[in-house]
Structure 1
């Protein structure tokens, strides 16, 4: 299992690292140490190590499977004899040891070189590969982290590898102690991982881990909101809800048969964790915002607007529910321009309930939610303004969804404020 996982890690990082790992070294090949080959004066140990290192780097950039040449090994040996703490020399010597019986000595040289210089890309890459082959997840991510601190190019190359590797088994336990203290690359990592569908589930688990003790990273960042959106987009609704709850999703009135199943139904707070709180529209023809001091949802639409002004996800069981609301508008609100809609959020399922016309002065309304095969539903406040109609401004003071008195046993998984 360990060997299989280690090979998996190597597959994950290979594409990211083959091109990028030698970029620094190849650039350095034109510096003074390389020119020492054509100078009559004898080279120092540092120059010999640099020549061997840059020569191997240039060849490896063209052929990732290149072996260390005899000349490069001789230069590295000579450098090591005069300067035994030369990281380039140690790295070349270690890479030249390809026999199984040399594995222990090879690892010892790499470990020593890593302690001497954390910026040596050859050594770093070999230590990362060795940790992957051993299945040592903690060391694998520790070295990725250290390398990412050496510069922007390394951060870009290895950050992509880390984001890809987040999808693999064992990531959360290994990466949480590394990202928990918030290294400098933390925000960059989150910006990458939210764009990788295969890594979303583990990214959510990791985010929950660092929100807990001892790190307490509980502030909600833009990448947290993006992670929630992507989890929902790819159908990971349970994982999204668990993440939102762990980041402080408000569940105040969960008790009682008459509880409002809509979260923030009185619009008393600005939502941070959409779509498990209100997800508000902001498009050219339609905009919605919450005035938390006035406890009002403000909807402004012009002719041609046809979209949800606000919506949220909630868990519902099939049964009868009562929808009630309180609103005002700038003038008379035409019928069939503002609706409440309940529809299944899982895949292509068509379950839900008939739409409710919120311009109807007669309410509350009782609706029946169908679909035993659906757990998650959208509750949306839809706007439909004819193209030729004037615009409308609506102030919604509150909206509620409660089990009907005859269906008090019906459960809902999103509990908000009345």
Structure 2
């Protein structure tokens, strides 16, 4: 555990080091000029100090790598902060700027204490929250660091660009999963941006799926369609990155009762074609083109294939999980026309694609075939294809395609 915590502190600090400096803290600080001309208002005087700090940064008078104010006008800024505090003791900005100006690099611990004291009056001061992130990251306090991310992004929407890379970096460590689940269960405003940034990072995909599995409340900031799109995209990206087990676990959690009929014997999802396909490719992908129309009639429980030109290709496909064991492949279909329909099982795991495919004829009526999987491959593409001579046409309705486990793991 200690080693993992060190990794958290290191990875987040890469991103937080810039944020915890004066430059990062004041990057998104709103410091209007009007603040400097209201000397009787403590909050306005505090903002005047903010303005001077920001001007120092813009005019290159402040070392951007320093976590404290070290510019030549430091005493002027400090006096403004003290005056602001006397006028308004509850001003978090005043307390924060005293902390930034009163202590030197060797007294950062005192600055931290004052920063945390100020947050007791206002938890929404973006600059204080951002500065304290560094402290929590260096202390390897994962829960506090992630809470700091949450507070900073809640107080300043523009901070996402600065903070999300560090948050996504932290996702890669297993120790982050539980506190992130807790944060996401509260449906924070930054949730949508978090998932978008996470999906763009291949190293985070597995833990993102674990977070998604563990969430008790799912994406209230997103519509049902957006949540389904998120799960669909995450499943597809996991498959693209050969994380089949993680993709299947997420699919099974989201669609488990329909997917596996509770008893886990049926390996084909939506085998009776009564449901609209969801979370592909573990459910049916259908392929229509200028020569064929393919669609599911859910109420009738049929997969319809209308072919009106030359075809020699794929019309439906599904990724199925077939562990080692014996299975019964069965079909039930009706057909008019000269097309020959057949199914093919082909290993989907890249290192095992050279394994020979298993092919099944699909004549009109009912058909059953026994087969065994004795290979190390567990994930197969179930491909449904049709051959039809040029100029001919064909219509078919498939009532069921089943792969049912007879024995095995």
TM-score class, shorter = 0.7 to 0.9
The 1:17/1:162 distance shift into structure 2, 3 A limit, reads: farther
1:400 to 399, 402, 408: 402
Q: Distance in 1 between matches of 2:241 and 2:128?
A: 38
Q: Distance in 2 between matches of 1:47 and 1:260?
A: 69
1:267 to 273, 276, 279: 273
SS in 1 for 2:384: strand
Q: Which residue of 1 aligns with 2:93?
A: 88
SS in 1 for 2:14: helix
2:355 to 351, 354, 367: 351
Question: Any unmatched runs of 5+ in structure 2?
Answer: none
2:154 to 149, 153, 157: 149
Q: Distance in 2 between matches of 1:402 and 1:233?
A: 26
Q: Distance in 1 between matches of 2:332 and 2:121?
A: 69
- Residue 261 of structure 2 is aligned to residue 252 of structure 1: yes
Question: Any unmatched runs of 5+ in structure 1?
Answer: 412-418
Q: How does 1:67-146 map to 2 (within 5 A)?
A: 67-68=68-69, 69=71, 70=74, 71-96=76-101, 97-103=103-109, 105-146=110-151
The 1:88/1:382 distance shift into structure 2, 3 A limit, reads: farther
Q: How does 1:205-284 map to 2 (within 5 A)?
A: 205-211=210-216, 221-250=228-257, 251-252=260-261, 254=263, 259-281=265-287
Q: How does 1:342-381 map to 2 (within 5 A)?
A: 342-349=345-352, 350-358=354-362, 363-367=367-371, 369=373, 371=375, 373-381=376-384
Q: Which residue of 2 aligns with 1:414?
A: none
Q: How does 1:144-223 map to 2 (within 5 A)?
A: 144-155=149-160, 157-211=162-216, 221-223=228-230
Residue 223 of structure 1: CA displacement? 0.9
SS in 1 for 2:256: coil
The 1:186/1:59 distance shift into structure 2, 3 A limit, reads: same
Deviations 1:169-222 (A, max 9, x none): 311111122111323433443333223211111111111211389x9x9x7632
SS in 2 for 1:24: coil
Instruction: Please give the root-mean-square deviation of Cα atoms over the aligned residues, in Å.
Output: 3.7
1:53 to 50, 56, 63: 50
Q: Distance in 1 between matches of 2:293 and 2:200?
A: 27
The 1:4/1:242 distance shift into structure 2, 3 A limit, reads: closer
Q: Which residue of 1 aligns with 2:33?
A: 31
The 1:261/1:102 distance shift into structure 2, 3 A limit, reads: closer
The 1:212/1:86 distance shift into structure 2, 3 A limit, reads: closer
Q: Distance in 2 between matches of 1:13 and 1:307?
A: 50
Q: Distance in 2 between matches of 1:165 and 1:180?
A: 18
Q: Which residue of 2 aligns with 1:8?
A: 11
Bigger drift between 80-89 and 124-133 goes to 80-89
Q: Distance in 2 between matches of 1:177 and 1:138?
A: 10
Q: Distance in 2 between matches of 1:287 and 1:128?
A: 56
Q: Distance in 1 between matches of 2:81 and 2:290?
A: 65
SS in 1 for 2:357: strand
SS in 1 for 2:337: coil
SS in 2 for 1:170: helix
Residue 365 of structure 1: CA displacement? 4.0
Q: Tell me the TM-score normalized by structure 1.
A: 0.77
The 1:305/1:334 distance shift into structure 2, 3 A limit, reads: closer
SS in 2 for 1:249: helix
Q: Which residue of 1 aligns with 2:298?
A: 292
**Contact 2:15–2:163 under 8 Å retained in 1:** no
SS in 1 for 2:334: strand
Deviations 1:228-268 (A, max 9, x none): 1211111111112222222241222637xxx5432321123
**Contact 1:149–1:184 under 8 Å retained in 2:** yes
The 1:402/1:171 distance shift into structure 2, 3 A limit, reads: same
Q: Distance in 2 between matches of 1:253 and 1:212?
A: 23
